[in-house]
């Protein structure tokens, strides 16, 4: 059947008798995912025409905004939930290796864009900020020691430092150590090559450059209301101008849904069979932001701890040095919240509108299996200002309530889907759903999405443009030098890649490990 052709086959064979406005590619959402995919495709084939539709009045205003995401530059250096302990006591670093490898791919892509003049000064979006994992209590100290031993066997993490020495911990994180109980067992690891990434600035620059390319148009205050695939495999998309109320119809050969929390509803509107059974669980976030410049100036790292026993992965607390708008900031959190909105600028009806016949059972089953998560969210909503400060004092013992203010972060929508054996499971990562013919792809989920955007979008390209890959595999190493190679195992290649990207991105990590 025609609608079972691959997407790139449609690019070659689509009818020229179109009655509506036509484009090769539609990107829904002006966030980091759309920006990454659009630039990759334009680098691979400059002839592509692209239309970008964003419901807000600018790029990167939802999940990609600097205040709405974690900004860590997730590289699995310090996130303890990426390295679970097995029943036998050993540490599983599989997920950490995958995420760290993917972040190296993103850095290579950004370095390429800097070299091509597509991105401006690297410090406007990426800065060196060491990553620290910090624990207390004998059991947690033993876990961190075992984690360190396992991780330094992999080239990606071999420069990781471990210490229980309080003098060294004082040097690494004086604000965290001030006033701390001297009898409590403590341990930390430190990766000097960690980074902070302002995905809002990065995405705005990428979208701005992309929309200036020939054949690319970005439309803000435009909302996609409907998308349907016709018998020829083309996508008919109805878009509304939210300022004027005008409506337009776009015909596209390929559609990418990268609308953050809004992606699920659009995936449902597409009616592709592959999207059936997916649901979403929205989770909000809040930060405590330090207003005392003296405290901010004394802390220069990202310090991640362990999530409390029984709490979900999203609850991992961290004391986070950020660089936003060229200014250093210090945040602590996240504190979770619940809202039925799927977007920060969304509707309280989002969750209810997402419920369909095909996903109601998975959503109910996932809800029943995650009652502790519901209880955790309720407890978080009930936290008083004093209780939040008490949580902060586990990381900043001398914190003063008047030096910290509460700020609302972005909305995440965790993926609910059918499991292999379960009726419904709640996922805490990201997932790409693509139609069988490759004409549509959608990204669902949250962390560590933005940091691994380049790898995720390469996966989209490979799945949706299979017949072009023989040609594009020759081009991709000029964009991402490690393409097709496993840098997690090749120490020499990794060293070369990091030296090159660090130079281009103006990152200058310490080369000497403290003794």
Q: Which CATH architecture has domain 2-479?
A: 3-Layer(bba) Sandwich (3.50)
User: Which token pair is 389?
Assistant: 């400060």
Query: Hey, what long-range contacts does 430-435 have (CB within 8 A, 24 or more apart)?
Result: 430/456, 432/456, 432/459, 432/460, 432/463, 433/267, 433/272, 433/274, 433/275, 433/278, 434/274, 434/460, 434/463, 434/464, 435/229, 435/270, 435/272, 435/274
More confident residue, 288 or 69: 288
Inform me whether the pLDDT recorded for 515 exceeds 90: no
Q: How confident is the model at residue 12 (pLDDT cuts 50, 70, 90)?
A: very low
**pLDDT confidence of 7, banded at 50, 70, 90?**
low
Alpha carbons 209 and 109: distance in angstroms, whole number: 15
pTM > 0.75: yes
Closest Cα partner for 103 from 194, 37, 20, 11? 194
Q: How far apart are CA 79 and CA 71, in angstroms?
A: 13
Distance between CA atoms of residues 444 and 353, nearest Å: 17
Residue 332 to residue 242: CA distance in whole angstroms: 36
d(CA 286, CA 406): 7
User: Cα(106)–Cα(88) distance, rounded to whole angstroms?
Assistant: 34
Query: Is the pLDDT at 181 greater than 50, yes or no?
Result: yes
The pLDDT tens digits of the residues spanning 441-460 come to 999 987 667 899 999 999 99
Percent with pLDDT over 90 in the chain: 65
Residues with Cβ within 8 Å of residue 492, at least 6 apart in sequence: none
| Residue 40: CB atoms within 10 Å | 21
CA distances from 467 to 7, 16, 24, 430, 439 (A): 9, 21, 16, 26, 13
In this predicted structure, the answer to whether residue 374 has a pLDDT above a threshold of 80 is no
Joined together, the tokens standing for residue 380 give 């978080």
Alpha helices by DSSP H, 173-285: 174-177, 199-212, 263-270
Q: Which residues of 98-134 are buried (b: 16+ CB within 10 A; e: fewer)?
A: bbbbbbbbbbbbbbbbbeeebbeebebbbbbbbbbbb
pLDDT band at 195 (very low <50, low <70, confident <90, very high): very high
Better pLDDT: 161 or 417: 161
Is 103 a residue whose pLDDT tops 80? Answer: yes
Task: Identify which of 126, 116, 114, 30 has the alpha carbon closest to the alpha carbon of residue 72.
Answer: 126
Query: CA-to-CA distance for 317 and 65, rounded, in angstroms?
Result: 20
Q: Per-residue pLDDT tens for 294-344? A: 999 999 999 999 876 656 655 678 999 999 888 999 999 888 877 888 887
CB atoms within 10 A of CB 47: 8
Residue 35 and residue 25: Cα distance in Å, rounded? Answer: 13
Average pLDDT over residues 36-40: 97
d(CA 64, CA 59): 9
Strands of 291-380, DSSP E: 302-304, 318-324, 327-337
β partners of residue 128? 195
Tell me, letter by letter, the H, E, C secondary structure of 402-468: HHEEEEECCCEEEEEECCCCCCCEEECCEEEEECCCCCEEEEEECCCHHHHHHHHHHHHHHHHCHHH
DSSP-based three-state secondary structure for 113: helix
Asked if the model's pLDDT at residue 68 lies above 80, the reply is no
Taking CA atoms, 24 is separated from 39, 53, 469, in Å, by 14, 14, 17
| Distance (Å, whole) CA 59 – CA 30 | 5
pLDDT at 376: 74
Q: Mean pLDDT across the chain, nearest whole number?
A: 88
pLDDT at 495 over 70: yes
Rounded to whole angstroms, the Cα distance separating 473 from 470 reads 6
Q: Assign residue 57 a region (left: φ > 0; alpha: ψ between -120 and 50; beta: otherwise).
A: alpha
Measured in degrees and rounded to the nearest 5, phi and psi for residue 434 equal -125, 145
Using pLDDT thresholds of 50, 70 and 90, give the confidence band for residue 50: very high
Report how far residue 426's alpha carbon sits from residue 419's, in angstroms, rounded to the nearest whole number.
9
Q: According to the model, what pLDDT value does residue 404 have? A: 96
Contact indicator for 267, 417 with CB cutoff of 8 Å: no
Could you tell me the pLDDT band of residue 17, with boundaries at 50, 70 and 90? very low
Of 496, 457, 490, residue with least CA distance to 37: 457
pLDDT confidence of residue 432: 92
Alpha carbon distances (Å) from 501 to 114, 115, 391, 449, 491 = 10, 10, 37, 21, 15
């Amino acid at each position: 059947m025609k609608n079972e052709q691959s997407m790139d086959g449609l690019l070659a064979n689509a009818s020229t008798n179109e009655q509506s406005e036509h484009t090769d590619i539609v990107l829904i959402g002006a966030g980091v995912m759309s920006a990454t995919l659009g630039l990759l495709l334009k680098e691979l084939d400059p002839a592509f025409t692209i239309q970008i539709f964003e419901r807000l009045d600018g790029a990167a205003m939802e999940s990609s905004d600097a205040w709405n995401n974690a900004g860590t530059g997730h590289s699995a250096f310090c996130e303890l939930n990426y390295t679970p302990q097995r029943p036998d006591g050993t540490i599983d670093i599989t997920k950490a290796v995958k995420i760290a490898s993917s972040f190296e791919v993103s850095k290579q892509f950004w370095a390429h864009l800097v070299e091509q003049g597509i991105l401006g000064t690297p410090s406007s979006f990426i800065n060196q900020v060491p990553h620290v994992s910090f624990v207390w209590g004998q059991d947690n100290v033993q876990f961190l020691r075992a984690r360190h031993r396992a991780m330094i066997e992999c080239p990606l993490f071999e420069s990781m430092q471990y210490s229980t020495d309080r003098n060294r911990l004082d040097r690494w994180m004086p604000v965290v150590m001030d006033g701390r109980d001297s009898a409590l067992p403590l341990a930390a690891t430190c990766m000097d090559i960690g980074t902070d990434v302002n995905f809002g600035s990065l995405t705005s620059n990428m979208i701005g450059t992309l929309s200036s390319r020939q054949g690319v148009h970005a439309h803000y205050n435009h909302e996609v209301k409907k998308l349907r695939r016709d018998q020829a495999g083309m996508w008919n998309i109805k878009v509304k101008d939210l300022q004027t109320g005008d409506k337009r119809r776009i015909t596209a050969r390929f559609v990418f849904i990268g609308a953050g929390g809004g992606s699920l509803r659009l995936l449902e509107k597409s009616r592709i069979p592959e999207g059936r059974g997916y649901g979403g669980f929205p989770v909000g976030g809040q930060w405590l932001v330090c207003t005392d410049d003296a405290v901010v100036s004394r802390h220069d790292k990202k310090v991640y701890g362990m999530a409390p026993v029984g709490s979900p992965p999203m609850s991992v607390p961290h004391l986070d040095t950020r660089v936003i708008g060229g200014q250093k900031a210090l945040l602590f959190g996240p504190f979770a919240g619940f809202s039925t909105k799927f977007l920060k600028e969304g509707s309280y009806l989002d969750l209810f509108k997402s419920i369909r016949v095909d996903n109601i059972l998975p959503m109910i089953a996932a809800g029943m299996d995650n009652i502790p998560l519901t209880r955790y969210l309720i407890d978080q909503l009930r936290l008083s200002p004093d209780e939040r400060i008490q949580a902060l004092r586990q990381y900043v013992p001398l914190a003063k309530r008047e030096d910290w203010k509460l700020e609302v972060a972005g909305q995440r929508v965790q993926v609910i889907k059918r499991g292999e054996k379960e009726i419904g499971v709640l996922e805490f990562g990201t997932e790409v759903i693509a139609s069988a013919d490759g004409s549509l792809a959608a990204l669902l989920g949250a962390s560590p999405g933005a940091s691994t955007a380049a790898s995720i979008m390469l996966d989209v390209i490979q799945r949706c443009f299979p017949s072009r890959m023989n040609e594009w595999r020759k081009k991709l190493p000029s964009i991402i030098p490690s393409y097709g190679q496993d840098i997690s195992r090749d120490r020499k290649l990794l060293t070369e890649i990091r030296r090159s990207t660090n130079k281009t991105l103006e990152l200058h990590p310490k080369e000497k490990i403290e003794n």
